[in-house]
Structure 1
Amino acid sequence: MNGLKTSALAIGVALGCASFGTEAAAQDCTTKIGAVLPTSVDWGKPIAATAQYAVDIANETGGVAGCQIEMVLRDTQVDPKVGVDAAKALVDLDGVQLLLGAVSSGVSMPILTSVTVPAGVMQMSCCSSSTAFTRLAEEGKTNGLFFRTFATSGVQAAVGAMVARDAGYESIAVFYKNDDWGQDIGGLIAKDFEALGIEVTAQIAINDAQASYRAEVTEALKGNPQAIYMALYPDEGTQVVREWISLGGTQNMIAANALKSDEFKENVGMEFLGSFIGTDTASPRTDSASAFVDAYTARFDGPPSGPGLPNSFDATMIALLAMHAAGEGATGTDIAAKVGAITDPNGTPVTADATGFAQAKEVLDGGGTVSYQGATGNVQFDANGDVSAPAVTWVFGADGIEEQKYISLTEVNDFMNSLQ
């Protein structure tokens, strides 16, 4: 466990190892779960490693429903076709009933509609934020099989509008990735800007893997905006910003969390990012969230600074506890039906460590429910599998990504209501 010994959470892991090592050693069965995550990109590797970290904690307590867990990981390459093929292989060949992922909404959506829902497999995403999932659930088309520990795009869109308002920008051009996620957040933030009286001079769709985005940038420059907003991933974001700066565009930039990447910072250059402000959802300021940071830092020799890491941890822990509650041989539908027993606000509070995982299993085995207290706080899902969350703004600093401002859940909700 790489010397996990300094935090309360880590102590729990150590206790879990001591208490449950005999049970784990006696096991002779393994249950596979699937994970479809973008490990070929720099910000995707830590998300997958964090999911594996949660699996390791579960296994240290004796596993799930009497068996050790093997997480079979496949790379999506942030590509819908690759992601669907990976998910099909995990479901059809490996027989998984639980699938973790994906990250991009544009990858998660086709996996949900063409793989997991038809197969009756539960899908738990750490990081997909499109409101299209909410609408699909409201229409009864997810069959209750989809959950996500990341708040919807509406939160980041609202916070991006808040940043523009506070900066005094009167006109903004919006660049968005031409997929489910980008179209969703791009449309939401344009409405939020307009609700604040900020002119949206252009809404420019950015497609994957073009040789150049000069035509798109030239079109956006025609409106002479005071700032730009970007809902892009690092590859396209880097190229758009380079073109934008080279053609004389402003350095006033606001961006969604997909650009929370050292790769993006290094490829663009800090000299061009002095007026850049990013947004992200955030973990609440709770003891459980702080304990996760301490334990993660000890495990990985550094704090969780990339996007989606607390969400990945909680998604995996909750899904595994639901699998335990569902019992040996559970189907995806069985597992999904037990998520409420893990996130019951009236259940027994359990911590997100080996001791808490073991305690949760004991309570669940006795017919009780638990209230999981994790890296993103006291997780609770609504009827559509959605969660709410606080938010942060962040900037690129010389030593990495630096939090600029924390915005509480109450502040986020009040501001979103004011935009209606």
Structure 2
Amino acid sequence: MKMGSKHITGLALGLTVSAFGSAAMASDCTTKIGTVLPTSVDWGRPIAETAGFAVEQVNEAGGVQGCEIEMVLRDSQVDPKVGVDAAKALVDLDGVQVLIGAVSSGVSMPILTSVTVPAGVAQFSCCSSSGAFTTLAEEGGTNGLWFRTFATSGVQAAVGAKVAKDQGYGSIAILYKNDDWGQDISKLIAEDLVDMGITVTASVAINDGQPSYRAEVTEALGGQPEAIYMALYPNEGASVVREWLSLGGTQNMVMANSLKSDEFRDNVGLQYLGNALGTDTASPRVASADAFVASYKERFESEPNGPGLSNSYDATMIALLAMEAAGKDATGAEIAASVSRVTDPAGTPVSADAAGFAAAREALTAGGSVMYQGATGNVRFDANGDVSAPAVVWSFTETGTQEKQYVTLQEVDALMMGD
């Protein structure tokens, strides 16, 4: 991943991202937004860089309300306590009214409940998919401050079960990360597999940082499953698979998008992943998604193949558009309330780039609304801050991943309805 010198600077406690387009240089004010993302892990850094890319483009267009955006980036380390401490610093010390993050549901949830909601700060996540956020929103616990551009775990669970059925697996063992996200998706995939007529032989939790997963893998192998489903992160995922294969486990694998990682592939070995199929949400087949891919390749000289990249871009850009719509010195609640004005199906269509942001500013200044057309298409949030999305089935290659099947939004919705 290419990192431009102006893209990310600083280290450790906080990173500051800003860009100086010709219009932005003329501004004499700066507005901070906060970002809590796992920059200390290989798959997390590109997510942060992509958020920074959106900031660059907005500053190129003159910033928000005439002020340059400074993105203060802190590392969550995929640790709830670290994430909460980082978010508190951004809110209490930097005074941000918008927070982008986190990735893991187990980090986003405590930030939401203990930091952003009490402080009235709008929170936008690229990648947290747990159904617990929907429940919290339905109960009034988010105060309308929560938005995520990644579909709920139900999408991946439904598509994962479809993959298992299409492959003809009659039985499957589930190994999941023991956090909010893993617990949520393991429950959902188990229900979907049973509905598909597939036997779930075991569902085993995996904790971080153990020297060995032999006991957990032995438990999962006990029912002699024909395949394994994994909702794990790359580090422990690789350790689990190596243990699994060494004990005679099958190479028939179905994987959540969290394992869509060069790190995982290289640590396991491509020769053992020939029967491995993964799932992920996908951008719709629309021009705005293609435009994002083209601009990303121009900026970073690589394909946006990692998990959460298009979602990270859209979460950041929508947050910045909502800030523009809300007006100068807006509160987090005012920014959150303005999200509907920049994702309005009847609004002026605007592209996901500097020109699009400038066009949005004109429409908003004139009292209108805009329809943001982004990296994941025309984003629509429901009353709980959730989105739906198409999906893909993918496999590993020597250079990354390849798409094996595209599942349309209509097909996804049908799967989730049990049709």
Structure 2 Cα separation of the partners of residues 307 and 352 of structure 1: 19
SS in 1 for 2:203: strand
Shift of 1:282: 0.1
Does 2:198 match 1:210? no
Alignment partners' CA distance in 1, 2:127 and 2:221: 32
- What are the equivalent positions in structure 2 for 1:331-410 lying under 5 Å apart? 331-410=331-410
Task: State the Cα deviation string for residues 52-75 of structure 1 (Å, max 9, x = none).
Answer: 000000001110012000000000
The alpha carbon displacement at 1:233 in A equals 0.3
For the residue of structure 1 that corresponds to 2:71, the secondary structure is strand
Matching residue's letter, 2:216: E
Q: Structure 2: 5+ residue runs without aligned partners?
A: 5-18
Distance 2:209 2:264 in 1: 16
The offset of 1:25, in angstroms, is 2.6
Per-residue deviation, 1:412:
0.8
- 1:26 positional shift: 2.2
- CA shift for structure 1 position 415: 1.7
Structure 1 Cα separation of the partners of residues 330 and 191 of structure 2 = 43
Superposition pairs of residues 59-70 of structure 1, within 5 angstroms: 59-70=59-70
Cα distance in structure 1, aligned partners of 2:412 and 2:325: 34
Counting aligned pairs with the same residue, the percent is 71
Q: Within 1, Cα distance between the matches of 2:110 and 2:385?
A: 17
- Shift of the alpha carbon at 1:267? 0.4
Counterpart residue number, 2:223: 223
- Residue 184 of structure 1 corresponds to 184
Structure-1 separation of matches of 2:400 and 2:389: 24
Q: Residue in 2 aligned with 1:50?
A: 50
1:13-412 equivalence runs, <5 A: 21=22, 23-412=23-412
- CA deviation after TM superposition for structure 1 residue 399, in Å: 1.9
TM-score by length of 1: 0.94
Q: How big is the shift at 1:214?
A: 0.4
* Distance in 1 (alpha carbons) for counterparts of 2:253 and 2:164: 9
SS of the aligned residue for 2:73 comes to: strand
Q: What residue identity is the alignment partner of 2:307?
A: P
Q: Aligned partners of 1:204 and 1:322: how far apart in 2?
A: 42
Deviations 1:118-177 (A, max 9, x none): 010000000000010000000000000000000000000000000000000000000010
2 CA distance for matches of 1:113 and 1:24?
A: 34
Residue aligned with 2:197, SS: coil
Runs of 4+ in structure 1 off by over 6 angstroms are none
Deviation at 1:24, TM superposition (A): 2.3
Shift of 1:271: 1.3
Letter in 2 for 1:202: A
Deviations 1:343-387 (A, max 9, x none): 000001111111110000111111110000000000010000000
Provide structure 1 residue ranges, at least 5 long, that are not aligned to the other structure.
3-16
Aligned to 1:417: 417
2: CA distance, partners of 1:25 / 1:205: 51
Higher percent of residues as helix? 1
TM-score (norm 2): 0.95
SS of 1:208's equivalent in the other structure is coil
Distance 2:46 2:226 in 1: 35
Match of 1:324, SS state, is: helix
Equivalents in 2 of 1:115, 1:209: separation in Å?
27
1:211 positional shift: 1.0
Distance 1:400 1:350 in 2: 32
Deviations along 1:96-137, one digit per CA (max 9) or x if unpaired, are 010000000010000000000001000000000001000000
Task: Report SS of the residue matched to 1:71.
Answer: strand
CA distance in 2, matches of 1:77, 1:335: 28
| Aligned AA (2:357) | F
Task: Indicate the RMSD between aligned Cα atoms, in angstroms.
Answer: 1.3
Cross-structure match for 2:16: none
AA matched with 1:248: G
Say which SS state the counterpart of residue 403 (structure 1) adopts: strand
SS in 2 for 1:280: strand
Q: Counterparts of 2:26 and 2:270 in 1: how far apart (Å)?
A: 54
Q: 2:340 & 2:247 partners in 1: Cα distance? A: 52
CA distance in 2, matches of 1:394, 1:38: 24
Q: Matched residues in 1 for 2:274 and 2:259: separation?
A: 15
Alpha-carbon distance in structure 1 between the residues aligned to 2:338 and 2:264: 40
Question: Is the partner of 2:417 in helix, strand or coil?
Answer: helix
Structure 1 residue identity aligned to 2:138:
E
Q: Write the distance in 2 (CA, Å) between the matches of 1:50 and 1:32.
A: 17
Query: 1:316-354: CA deviations, max 9, x gaps?
Result: 110001011111111100100000000000001111111
Counterpart CA distance in 1 for 2:328 and 2:370 is 19
Report the Cα offset of residue 403 of structure 1: 1.1
Higher relative contact order (CA 8 A, sep 6+): 1
Counterpart CA distance in 1 for 2:350 and 2:271 is 46
Query: Deviation per CA, 1:175-194, whole angstroms, max 9, x where unpaired?
Result: 01010000000000000000
Distance in 2, matches of 1:77 and 1:265, equals 21
Q: Secondary structure at the match of 1:111?
A: helix
Q: Match for 2:370: what amino acid?
A: V
* Secondary structure in 2 matching 1:418: coil
AA paired with 2:230? M
